[in-house]
Structure 1
């Protein structure tokens, strides 16, 4: 498993900003389509909602295509609207460096089990060192 330093994570922020800038409108559209397709009073005729289903599937495939390479780099996508965790080590403890869309840099971290609600500011970037060569 790859562990990121704050510097390494910050080098990826422009890429993340670009990718999530493209993906976020697709995510919004998928959510709107899901509301229509999953409504209790949805049209019982499957053919009537086929265009919406096909559009949703095509958008989901585009989203997976954009986010897949990030996952292959070792990032954890926590939200397709732009929430990303980077594996890191703080001392001997594995933690996450945390970034969300709109932030200019990685400025927070959290314990593995606390999630976004447990985010804490990064006091010293030197507290987080990579343990796998980039």
Structure 2
């Protein structure tokens, strides 16, 4: 597993911004299609419904294609609309550095179990150093 410093994670922000800028409209469209296809009043199986399913499946494949390389780099995609965690160490404690679409840098962290709601500002980037075994 790779551990990131704040500087390393922040260097990826332009790539993340560009990638999620492409992906976010696809995610929104998939969500709208899911409301139609999987809602309480799902339509009967018609040609139009099959077209919607094909569109949804194609968009999901595109999303996976865009986000897969980020995951291969060791990032954890927590939300396809632009929420990313980076493994890090704060002293001896494993934590996540946290970035959300629209932020200019990685400026928050949280415990492994806390999630987004437990985000805290990074007071000192030097508190988060990569391990050289990662």
TM-score range, shorter chain: over 0.9
- Write out per-residue CA displacement over residues 47-102 of structure 1, whole angstroms, 9 at most, x where no aligned residue: 44000000000000000000000000000000000000000000000000000000
- Aligned-pair Cα RMSD in Å: 1.2
The Cα of 1:15 is off from its aligned counterpart by 0.1
Q: Helix, strand or coil for the counterpart of 1:55?
A: helix
Distance in 2, Cα, partners of 1:23 & 1:110: 25
Question: When the two structures are superposed, what TM-score results if normalisation uses the length of structure 2?
Answer: 0.96
Q: Helix, strand or coil for the counterpart of 1:86?
A: strand
Matches within 5 A, 1:4-19: 4-19=4-19
Q: Which residues of structure 2 form unaligned runs of 5+? A: none
Q: Which residues of structure 1 form unaligned runs of 5+? A: none
Aligned length: 134
| Map of 1:77 onto structure 2 | 77
The Cα of 1:43 is off from its aligned counterpart by 2.0
Distance in 2, Cα, partners of 1:41 & 1:18: 36
Distance in 1, Cα, partners of 2:41 & 2:48: 13
| Map of 2:55 onto structure 1 | 55
- Select between 100-109 and 37-46 the one with higher mean Cα deviation: 37-46
Which aligned segments of 4 or more residues in structure 1 are displaced greater than 6 angstroms? none
Q: Helix, strand or coil for the counterpart of 1:78?
A: strand
Question: When the two structures are superposed, what TM-score results if normalisation uses the length of structure 1?
Answer: 0.96
